[in-house]
A and B are shown apart, each in its own frame.
Chain A
Amino acid sequence: MTTLWNKPEISRREFFEKCAEAGAKTFVFGGLVVTTANLLLAQDPEDVRARAEGAVESRLHDTGLGDVRARAEGAPKEAAKGPIYGFVVDTMKCIGCGSCVRACRDENNVPDGFCRTWVEQYTFFPNGEVIVNSPSGGADGFGEDLPSRNMPEELGQLPVRGFFVPKLCNHCINTPCIQVCPVGASYVTREGVVLIDQERCIGCGYCVQACPFGSRYINPQTNTADKCTWCYHRITKGMVPACVQACPAKARIFGSVSDPNSEISQILANNRVQVLKSYLGTNPRTRYIGLDSEVM
């Protein structure tokens, strides 16, 4: 039998033609096999059910209810592995002093014009107009260019309602920001903290665009992506993040959600909490008390 291998003489051109033909056949056949297998698998009712159950399971954990369930079972399994961290922002308590923004800047060397955490001021007028303001992220406080001071003449009305909303990286469980990183510089630690490897980051900015909350920026000093780390260098030393320590209104609460006795677990158990942009399904670990539906 004459095969390609033992054929007496074959030109290089003929050889490559044969190789290409064999490759194409493998590709088509392989594609058929994979497609058939996928179709068969997808129709397996057991598999579909198992997958649906898996989804329910992970949702339980993701919303923090898993922690509550672990407590009910009397065995906080997560606690054995070390803490899982969470953050609560109580918008009802925030007085808009900006201490958190200043503390964050000083602690983390945040360059001018950027913020890892910032405070937004929401002012509502009777005609339905909502003004959202955050001069220097709130670092200089609120007052000078305050809507409630300057706007009434223009609108001819006094505001009817208003509040402050502090914001920071949500340390999402389903992070779009990690997914898009081409070099593996964005990652999540076992404690649930989303971090950036400053050595590996190439500053492409994909994650800055991917984050739907505007939490990331490219640091002009390092040319790498930067964002809130929940002060990872502090929390690993048993301290609280700088903003939490600075807040005079106790509007920011940080702690271990895997410890049922921690302050934050008690707050999560006894309050109705919300997350920002829940419809995006990023599943933030930063949760809010008193989040208004107007807050974006």
Chain B
Amino acid sequence: MNSARHFIRLLALLAIAAAAFFKARSMVVPADFGKLGHFRASAITDAAAREPRHLGSVTCAECHSEISDPWSKGKHSVPQCENCHGPGMLHVKVVSEDSVDAYPDPIKQNKNALRPTTGIRECEWCHLKTFERPSTLKSIKSVGEHITATGGTFTPASKCTDCHNPHTTAVK
């Protein structure tokens, strides 16, 4: 029976290795891994937890009805407020908590925590004439050409919003 000790030694080594492996595995692999598939089950709740930043024009209307009422009746009622003004979540927080100092510099500089509008770039996103745009969409070749063609005087400082109300498209 002398050779039995070879087996015993080998088995003992294997047992230690297996124990070490399972211990290491339990430390590296999260407890809920594999519960719903080959992934960490709580990753789903993590992914769902993040805070939405775009609130939709319905939320904007709660405070800004003087703008959103004509907007909703005008020709521009499909683009959302946040398309031009940027996401509103931070704006709502900053305005309601009055705590703009807690936010990073670019937001502090723009006190209302919305994206500053230029009154020309936002319009060009949709209304510059390109061959690929549907012809049914009102579009202009350039702001200069449009102003000249409509009898105005173009200067480098000219904006679309000089003549148009951006919320309704109506000419002022």
**Which residues from chain A sit less than 8 Å from chain B, CB to CB?**
4-10, 12, 15, 19, 93, 95-99, 102-103, 106-107, 121-123, 141-143, 146-149, 158-159, 162-164, 184-190, 195, 197-200, 229, 231-234, 236-237, 239, 242, 245-246, 248-250
Contacts and interface: CB of A to CB of B under 8 A. Distances in A.
Contacts of B126: 95, 97, 141, 248
A197 B56 CA distance: 28
B2 interface: yes
A143 B121 CA distance: 11
Interface residues of B, number: 43
Contact of B54 (A8, A15, A98, A107): A107
Contacts of B54: 103, 106-107, 242, 245-246
A163 B124 CA distance: 18
- Which secondary structure dominates chain A's binding surface? loop
Given A10-B6, A189-B44, A237 B52 contact: yes
Contacts of A231: 52
A161 to B, nearest CB: 8
A123 B125 contact: no
21 contacts: A5-B3, A7-B2, A15-B6, A99-B79, A103-B87, A106-B86, A107-B53, A107-B54, A121-B132, A141-B121, A142-B130, A142-B132, A146-B131, A148-B131, A149-B130, A158-B131, A164-B133, A184-B39, A234-B52, A245-B54, A246-B80
Contact of A197 (B43, B82, B83): B43
Contacts of B121: 141
Interface in B6-21: 6-7, 10
A185 B3 contact: no
A4 B7 CA distance: 10
A233 to B, nearest CB: 4
Contacts of A184: 33, 38-40
B130 A195 contact: no
B46 interface: yes
A107 B86 CA distance: 10
B1 to A, nearest CB: 6
Contact of A106 (B39, B44, B53): B53
A282 B52 CA distance: 30
Residue of B36, B80, B87, B131 contacting most chain A CB atoms (<10 Å): B131
A233 B83 contact: no
A96 B43 CA distance: 34
B128 A142 contact: yes
Contacts of A245: 54, 56, 80, 82
Nearest to A158: B131
Given A143-B128, A148-B130, A237-B52, 8 more contacts: A103-B54, A121-B132, A146-B130, A184-B39, A187-B43, A197-B40, A234-B52, A248-B126
A276 B51 CA distance: 31
B102 interface: no
A147 B132 CA distance: 10
A38 B92 CA distance: 64
A10 B133 contact: no
A102 to B, nearest CB: 8
Contacts of B130: 96, 121, 142-143, 146, 148-149, 162
A9 to B, nearest CB: 5
Contacts of A185: 39
Contacts of B53: 106-107, 242
Contact of A122 (B51, B79, B132, B133): B132
